[in-house]
Structure 1
Amino acid sequence: MSDNNRKPPSPLVRNVLMWAGILLALVLLVQLFQGPSERRSGGEEIAYSDFLSKVDSGQVKEAAIAGRQISGKLSNDQEFRTYNPGDMQLIERLRAKNVKFDAVPEERPSLLQQVIVGALPFLIMIGIWIFFMRQMQNGQGRGAMGFGKSRAKLLTEKHGRVTFDDVAGIDEAREELQEIVDFLKDPSKFHRLGGKIPKGALLVGPPGTGKTLLARAIAGEANVPFFTISGSDFVEMFVGVGASRVRDMFEQAKKNAPCIIFIDEIDAVGRHRGAGLGGGNDEREQTLNQLLVEMDGFDANEGIIIVAATNRPDVLDPALLRPGRFDRQITVGRPDIEGRVRILQVHMRKVPLAQDVDARTIARGTPGFSGADLANLVNEAALLAARRSKRLVGMSEFEDAKDKVMMGVERKSMVMTEDEKKLTAYHEAGHAVVSLHEQASDPIHKATIIPRGRALGMVMRLPERDSYSFHRDKMYANLSVAMGGRVAEELIFGHDKVTSGASSDIQMATNLAKAMVTQWGMSDILGPLQYTENQEEVFLGHSVSRQQNVSEKTAELIDSEVKRLVVGGYDRAKQLLTDHADELEAVAQALLEYETLSGDEIIKVIKGEHIDRPDSAEKLPPLGAGGVSGLPKAGRRRGSGLGDIAPQA
Structure 2
Amino acid sequence: MVNSARLRNGLIWLLIAVTLIVFLAMGRGGGSRGESVSLTDIAARLEAGEVKKVVVSGDYVQVELKNGKILSAVKENGSTFLDQMKTLGVPEDKLRSIQYVPERPNEWGGILIAFLTYGLPVLLVVGLFYFILRQAQAPGNQAFNFSKSRARMFTGERPTVTFDDVAGVDEAKQELQEVVEFLKEPEKFIALGARIPKGVLLVGPPGTGKTLLAKAVSGEAGVPFFSISGSEFVEMFVGVGAARVRDLFEQAKRHSPCIVFIDEIDAVGRYRGAGIGGSHDEREQTLNQILVEMDGFDTDTNVIVMAATNRPDILDPALLRPGRFDRRVILDRPDVKGREAIFRVHLRGKPLDDDVDVSVLARATPGFVGADIANVVNEAAILAARKNKKKISMKDFEEAIEKVIAGPERKSRLITEREKRIIAYHEAGHAVVAYYLPNCDPVHKVTIIPRGMAGGYTLALPEEDRTLWTRSKFLDDMAMALGGRAAEEIIFGDITTGAAEDLERVTELARAMVTRYGMSEKLGPMVFGKKEELIFLGKEIAEQRDYSDAVAQEIDAEVRRLVMEAYERAKRILTEHRDKLEAVAQKLIEMETLDAETFRAIMEGRTPPERKAPGAAGPAPQPAAPQPSAPAPGTGPAPVPVPA
TM-score (norm 1): 0.86
The answer to whether the aligner puts 1:119 opposite 2:122 as a matched pair is yes
User: Which residue does the alignment assign to 1:251?
Assistant: 250
Residue of 616, 625, 630 corresponding to 1:620? 616
Whichever residue aligns with residue 315 of structure 1, its letter is I
User: Which residue does the alignment assign to 1:498?
Assistant: 495
Residue of 22, 33, 48 corresponding to 1:30? 22
The 5-angstrom pairing of residues 339-358 of structure 1 reads 339-358=338-357
Q: Helix, strand or coil: the match of 1:263?
A: strand
User: Which residue does the alignment assign to 1:284?
Assistant: 283
User: Which residue does the alignment assign to 1:605?
Assistant: 602
- Shift in alpha-carbon separation, 1:56–1:378, aligned structure 2, 3 A: same
The 5-angstrom pairing of residues 14-413 of structure 1 reads 24=16, 27-28=19-20, 30-31=22-23, 34=25, 38-39=29-30, 42-46=33-37, 51=42, 54-55=45-46, 58-92=49-83, 93=85, 95-96=92-93, 97-98=95-96, 99-103=98-102, 105-106=104-105, 107=107, 108-109=110-111, 114-119=117-122, 142-156=141-155, 158-159=157-158, 161-276=160-275, 281-297=280-296, 302-413=301-412
Displacement of 1:307 in angstroms is: 0.8
The answer to whether the aligner puts 1:567 opposite 2:557 as a matched pair is no
The answer to whether the aligner puts 1:460 opposite 2:459 as a matched pair is yes
Q: Helix, strand or coil: the match of 2:463?
A: coil
Structure 2 segments unaligned to the other structure (5+ residues): 87-91, 619-625, 630-636
Contact 2:439-2:473 within 8 A present in 1 as well: yes
The answer to whether the aligner puts 1:479 opposite 2:478 as a matched pair is yes
Contact 1:242-1:283 within 8 A present in 2 as well: yes
User: Which residue does the alignment assign to 1:647?
Assistant: 641
Displacement of 1:593 in angstroms is: 1.7
The answer to whether the aligner puts 1:582 opposite 2:579 as a matched pair is yes
Residue of 530, 541, 547 corresponding to 1:533? 530
Distance 1:22 1:518 in 2: 77
Distance 2:539 2:299 in 1: 35
Displacement of 1:121 in angstroms is: 7.8
Distance 2:444 2:248 in 1: 52
Distance 2:614 2:298 in 1: 71
User: Which residue does the alignment assign to 2:633?
Assistant: none
- Shift in alpha-carbon separation, 1:18–1:147, aligned structure 2, 3 A: farther
- Shift in alpha-carbon separation, 1:282–1:56, aligned structure 2, 3 A: farther
CA displacement, residues 374-422 of structure 1 (integer Å, 9 cap, x when unaligned): 1111111111222222222121211121122223211100101111111
Q: Helix, strand or coil: the match of 2:64?
A: strand
Contact 2:200-2:326 within 8 A present in 1 as well: yes
Distance 1:211 1:408 in 2: 26
- Shift in alpha-carbon separation, 1:298–1:19, aligned structure 2, 3 A: closer
User: Which residue does the alignment assign to 1:627?
Assistant: none
Distance 1:598 1:205 in 2: 35
Whichever residue aligns with residue 639 of structure 2, its letter is I
Q: Helix, strand or coil: the match of 2:306?
A: strand
Displacement of 1:272 in angstroms is: 1.8
Whichever residue aligns with residue 388 of structure 1, its letter is K
Whichever residue aligns with residue 462 of structure 1, its letter is L
Contact 1:202-1:330 within 8 A present in 2 as well: yes
Contact 1:482-1:640 within 8 A present in 2 as well: no
Whichever residue aligns with residue 261 of structure 1, its letter is V
Displacement of 1:363 in angstroms is: 0.4
Contact 1:348-1:378 within 8 A present in 2 as well: yes
Q: Helix, strand or coil: the match of 1:547?
A: strand
Distance 1:173 1:619 in 2: 46
Distance 1:234 1:300 in 2: 26
- Shift in alpha-carbon separation, 1:194–1:566, aligned structure 2, 3 A: same
Distance 2:333 2:366 in 1: 9
Distance 2:181 2:580 in 1: 62
Percent identity of paired positions between Structure 1 and Structure 2: 48
Whichever residue aligns with residue 571 of structure 2, its letter is K
The answer to whether the aligner puts 1:511 opposite 2:505 as a matched pair is no
Q: How many residues align?
A: 613
Distance 1:298 1:223 in 2: 21
Displacement of 1:24 in angstroms is: 2.1
Contact 2:627-2:639 within 8 A present in 1 as well: no
- Shift in alpha-carbon separation, 1:72–1:229, aligned structure 2, 3 A: same
Whichever residue aligns with residue 604 of structure 2, its letter is K
Whichever residue aligns with residue 620 of structure 1, its letter is A
User: Which residue does the alignment assign to 1:548?
Assistant: 544
Distance 1:122 1:265 in 2: 42
- Shift in alpha-carbon separation, 1:77–1:545, aligned structure 2, 3 A: same
**CA RMSD of superposed structures (Å):** 3.4
Displacement of 1:535 in angstroms is: 4.8
Say which is worse superposed, 75-84 or 300-309, in terms of deviation: 75-84
- Shift in alpha-carbon separation, 1:621–1:554, aligned structure 2, 3 A: closer
Whichever residue aligns with residue 380 of structure 2, its letter is A
Distance 1:409 1:193 in 2: 58
Distance 1:14 1:464 in 2: 70
Distance 1:493 1:377 in 2: 39
